């Protein structure tokens, strides 16, 4: 990670958008964050329904609560079918459609993707998150 991206320890939330809490995505995150302290949020532990679905056990608000506490979001996703995981796709859609998207304004955001062969997915993934950052007023940083 570039020096300019380094922040106060408690300010980094690594969002692991893999089905595995300690798989290759978590491991890559650890390597990229390179000794910096961070909190890890495993999306597999939360029920986050698709936009338009309303179920009482939805846990999106819990994830938003954790996002609200930090200054820097590092998104990590495995490649699933030549794209970001469904976990990350749904999260981005839900965040962009929430009632108070202004809570994201000014926060830093980065993304990485890993997989057996992520070469065709890296650019589209960065484009999506860069665009997301632009729309939501976030500060996109390359890792």
Contact positions toward ligand FMN, by CB under 6 A? 18-20, 23-25, 78-82, 114-118
Burial of residue 79 (CB within 10 Å: 0-12, 13-18, 19+) is buried
Nearer to ligand FMN, 16 or 133 (CB): 16
Round to the nearest angstrom and report the end-to-end CA distance of the chain: 6
* Nearest distance, CB of residue 129 and ligand FMN, angstroms: 17
In whole angstroms, the minimum distance from the beta carbon of 126 to ligand FMN comes to 16
* Residue 129 phi, psi (nearest 5): -75, -35
The secondary structure of residue 98, as a DSSP letter, is S
CB of 135 to ligand FMN, least distance (A): 26
Instruction: Give 110 or 114: the residue with its C-beta nearer to ligand FMN.
Output: 114
Whichever of 36 and 121 has its CB closer to ligand FMN, that residue is: 121
Shortest Cβ contact with ligand FMN: which residue?
23
Q: How far is the CB of 103 from ligand FMN (least distance, A)?
A: 27
Q: Which is nearer to ligand FMN, 23 or 101 (CB)?
A: 23
């Amino acid at each position: 990670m570039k020096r300019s991206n380094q922040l106060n320890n408690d300010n980094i939330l690594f969002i692991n958008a893999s089905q595995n809490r300690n798989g290759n995505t978590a491991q890559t995150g650890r390597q990229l964050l390179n000794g910096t302290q961070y909190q890890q949020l495993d999306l597999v532990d939360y029920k986050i329904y698709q936009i338009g679905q309303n179920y009482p056990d939805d846990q999106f608000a819990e994830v938003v609560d954790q996002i609200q506490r930090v200054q820097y979001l590092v998104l990590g996703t495995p490649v699933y079918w030549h794209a970001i995981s469904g976990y990350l796709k749904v999260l981005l859609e839900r965040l962009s459609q929430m009632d108070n998207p202004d809570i994201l304004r000014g926060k830093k955001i980065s993304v990485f993707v890993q997989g057996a062969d992520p070469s065709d997915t890296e650019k589209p993934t960065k484009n999506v998150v860069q665009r997301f950052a632009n729309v939501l007023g976030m500060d996109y940083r390359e890792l």
